[in-house]
Amino acid sequence: MGKCKKRTLNKPVLEKKLSRESAIEYIVEKVRGNCIDNVSKQYLSLFCITPEELTEAGAAYEEVLVLSRFM
């Protein structure tokens, strides 16, 4: 068996499960820290997250307004 197969067999198939809730929590955490990165933008477009969902998760109205240009 080659080295590549040995490495891939030892790794779990999914190291990190991504859900809509975890994506919203990640975005709210980044917005509160004033650090909007490319991953946040990708999560917004991937899950089509609405501003209402972000405010329900704990983001302030002003913080959601900043993200409105990415939605």
* pLDDT attached to residue 6: 59
Q: Hey, what are 25's tokens?
A: 């929590």
Residue 18 DSSP code: -
Summarised one tens digit per residue, pLDDT across range 8-50 is 555 554 456 789 999 999 999 998 888 888 888 889 889 999 8
Q: Is 62 left (phi over 0), alpha (psi -120 to 50) or beta?
A: alpha
pTM of the model: 0.71
Q: 56 pLDDT band (50/70/90 cuts)?
A: very high
